Amino acid sequence: MNTIDQRLDLPYLESVETRDAGRILPILGICAMYSWVIFAAIYGCIVYREFMPLEGRIATAILLACIGWIALRVLFSFTYFKTDSDGFTMRGPFRRRFIPWIEIQSASVSMTRTKETMLTLITKRDKVRVNARGLGGGAGIADCVAASVWQHLRREGRADGMILPESALRLWDEIPDDVPAEIDWGKPASKGTLFITILMAVFFYGGIIGMANSMGLTIPLLIMCASMALGVTAMMKMLFSTALCTASGARVRRDGIEGDFPFGKRYIPWSQVASAWWSQKNLVIKSVNPRSEIWVPYKLGSRESERLILCIIRYLRSAGNPQAVPLPVLISSDSSYFKKTAFSSQHIEAMKQAFLNTLDEPARRCIKRLGAIQSTLIFFGLALALSVMFTDPVGRLAHIFHASPDVRYFFWLHSLIIAVPLIITSTLVFSIASELICARFAGPYREIWKEYNTLGSGKLYRIIAYIGAVIGVLGVLAIPFMVGCYTSFKDSGMAIGRFGRFHEEFHPWSQVQQLETHAVVGYNHGRPYTRNIYTIRFSDGSDWSVDENGIIGCDQRDELVPAMQFAVSKSGRQMVYK
């Protein structure tokens, strides 16, 4: 239960305001990425409608429905939240709502599987769920919103059902007395990160321009490139903001904070702080001047970085506009708290390194050794799955069971079809298996090893791994069906094994009614090319069709034309070109 006395009302919780994540550029970027997928799916359905089976159309419709539902959720969700003395304000790209405190009958706080705070408000009309996504640093914006709502509702006598999470209670923690009033931190500014970001921008935009130039300036391609460019612009804006606003050094004084940046220094007085919040790995301080912003990086496990952040939070809480900034996870002084409240949104490697810093030397060496063994086993599983692409076990088994000595030409399903899901599955399965194997050899450090592996993962990671294992098992079970999917050309006729059927279809050459070739024109690097789709129709109404680009493996693709010529000579039918 909450142990906060009513007399401890915090001034910086009277009004909490989140960042406005519904600005036009991020929204346009998200919509552009969705529209690119939607456009590609619709364009593919139109161009290849003659060759798309009913199952493909149904799958495309389901894909478009899912993407449309996600896009609507993004566009009509609330992305901005604010509390004040009058009530609770929520705003999104196309929605706005204000709830006075008197209309809220009760409220509750829960945690999602990804360790984010979920706030539920029950009004006289409906139930409102607020998910101001928690960000890294021990407690995020969502905890500040929940704590502010709790403080206002408690005065109305309707906060009895709200039990704040431990991370939100960090808002009431005081700054330790040993934190100095002024502090200097960091190193000289460097332009390396900005240079890498510029190279990334050149690479992405150059790729889009090169694709548009090589494939021809058609209207569909221009629409696709424009949507991709808009999505890349949104992404690059975030990367450039990180490169230009993250301070490499900082000096905290009683009257303000000064940061070092690639193009000079930036100073923000405490009296002019407009807002402050935790991002994933930075404490962001924004001035009333829209162009003045300082991002102070927080290095998990570094005592110097911890003291710097604590010194900044002390002044932010008592600034001219008090800011609700919770204390971060303090590794060097409170390792037990870190082990209880580490968030998956923080950088996993930094979390694990900070955890290792809390151990004695023998335990640290043992955990590092087990971690190396775990990585080796995971790479072994990945190599095992990649070997399927080169050894083609499905093709070898198909030859053993179905390629008799009188077969002239033989076609089968290549193992590459199941290689990709096997790669994903083997990585997940070997991650869990290696963790369990290393636990058997951890000896007295078994519990420490288990705790080390749970950092940044939790139950959701295991659920995903189990789902991957199920997919892998289904992929292995599909191998017999793939082995039974083949086509063989013999002197006496064609033997066809279709996927999902356990009997072989045999058609003598006398049953061949027609042989067709359908040429489809495409473009590669601006140059037209044709690919052939061959179809053999039989007198019983069945047919066999193959696209030369759909055949995997050069050995099979080189035999396709000779096999069709063999079918023409044996059946006595002429090839019909369409």
**pLDDT tens figures, 337-358:** 444 444 434 455 666 766 777 7
* Contact (Cβ atoms closer than 8 angstroms) between residue 505 and residue 472: no
Can you tell me the mean pLDDT for 322-349? 55
pLDDT at 377 over 60: yes
pLDDT at 299 over 80: no
The rounded distance, in Å, linking the Cα atoms of 442 and 366 is: 7
| pLDDT range class, residue 507, cuts 50, 70, 90 | very high
Report for 3-7, 15-19, 394-398, 500-504: range of highest mean pLDDT: 394-398
The Cβ of residue 9 has, within 10 Å, a number of other Cβ atoms equal to 13
* pLDDT score of 139: 44
| Cα 302 off chain centre by | 28
* pLDDT score of 488: 92
Is 134 strand, coil or helix?
coil
pLDDT at 143 over 90: no
- The residues, any chain, with a CB within 8 Å of residue 535's CB and separated by 6 or more, are 515, 516, 517, 518, 543, 544, 545
* pLDDT score of 558: 78
Tokens 């509750």 — which residue?
A: 108
pLDDT at 525 over 80: no
Token pair belonging to 491: 């002197």
100 compared with 386, residue with greater pLDDT: 100
Percentages helix, strand, coil for the chain (3-state, rounded to 5) are 50, 20, 30
Say what percent of the chain tops pLDDT 90.
Answer: 6
Lowest mean pLDDT among 52-61, 254-263, 438-447, 500-509: 52-61
Token pair belonging to 287: 């001035």
Can you tell me the mean pLDDT for 167-196? 79
pLDDT at 240 over 70: yes
Token pair belonging to 101: 């405190």
Tokens 């759909």 — which residue?
A: 550
Report for 188-192, 303-307, 499-503: range of highest mean pLDDT: 303-307
50 compared with 413, residue with greater pLDDT: 413
Report for 1-10, 398-407, 413-422, 475-484: range of highest mean pLDDT: 398-407
* pLDDT score of 7: 46
Can you tell me the mean pLDDT for 238-261? 85
* pLDDT score of 187: 72
* Contact (Cβ atoms closer than 8 angstroms) between residue 38 and residue 170: no
The rounded distance, in Å, linking the Cα atoms of 535 and 512 is: 11
Can you tell me the mean pLDDT for 168-194? 79
* pLDDT score of 499: 77
Q: How far apart are the first and last CA of the chain?
A: 76
- The residues, any chain, with a CB within 8 Å of residue 138's CB and separated by 6 or more, are 167, 170, 278, 326, 327, 328, 329, 341, 343
The rounded distance, in Å, linking the Cα atoms of 218 and 43 is: 13
pLDDT at 170 over 80: no
339 compared with 313, residue with greater pLDDT: 313
**Pairing mode, if any, of strands 80-83 and 87-91?**
antiparallel
| Cα 361 off chain centre by | 36
The dotted CATH code for 11-165 is: 2.30.29.30
Report for 159-168, 184-193, 268-277: range of highest mean pLDDT: 268-277
Tokens 């364009």 — which residue?
A: 43
The rounded distance, in Å, linking the Cα atoms of 54 and 158 is: 56
Q: What is the DSSP letter of 321?
A: S
Lowest mean pLDDT among 230-234, 331-335, 467-471: 331-335
Token pair belonging to 40: 């590609």
**23-80 residue pLDDT tens:** 445 555 556 555 666 666 676 666 666 556 666 677 777 877 877 787 777 777 777 8
Is 327 strand, coil or helix?
coil
pTM tops 0.75:
no
| pLDDT range class, residue 335, cuts 50, 70, 90 | very low
* pLDDT score of 526: 53
| pLDDT range class, residue 1, cuts 50, 70, 90 | very low
pLDDT at 93 over 60: yes
| pLDDT range class, residue 218, cuts 50, 70, 90 | low
| pLDDT range class, residue 522, cuts 50, 70, 90 | low
The Cβ of residue 185 has, within 10 Å, a number of other Cβ atoms equal to 20
The region, left, alpha or beta by phi > 0 then psi within -120 to 50, assigned to residue 224 is alpha
**Range 200-222 burial, b when 16+ CB lie within 10 A, else e:** ebeebeeebeeebeebeeeeeee
* pLDDT score of 462: 58
| Cα 374 off chain centre by | 23
pLDDT, averaged across the chain: 77
The rounded distance, in Å, linking the Cα atoms of 155 and 380 is: 60
| pLDDT range class, residue 550, cuts 50, 70, 90 | low
- The full set of domain ranges for the chain reads 11-165, 359-481, 504-577
Give the strand order in the sheet containing 575-577: 543-547, 527-538, 512-524, 575-577
**108-122 residue pLDDT tens:** 888 765 566 788 888
Report for 63-77, 158-172, 413-427: range of highest mean pLDDT: 158-172
The rounded distance, in Å, linking the Cα atoms of 36 and 435 is: 39
106 compared with 222, residue with greater pLDDT: 106
| pLDDT range class, residue 186, cuts 50, 70, 90 | confident
pLDDT at 13 over 70: yes
Say what percent of the chain tops pLDDT 70.
Answer: 74
394 compared with 424, residue with greater pLDDT: 394
| pLDDT range class, residue 19, cuts 50, 70, 90 | low
Closest to 267 measured CA to CA, from 294, 297, 240: 294
Burial class (CB in 10 A: 0-12, 13-18, 19+), 319: buried
Residue 409 main-chain phi, psi, to 5 deg: -135, 140
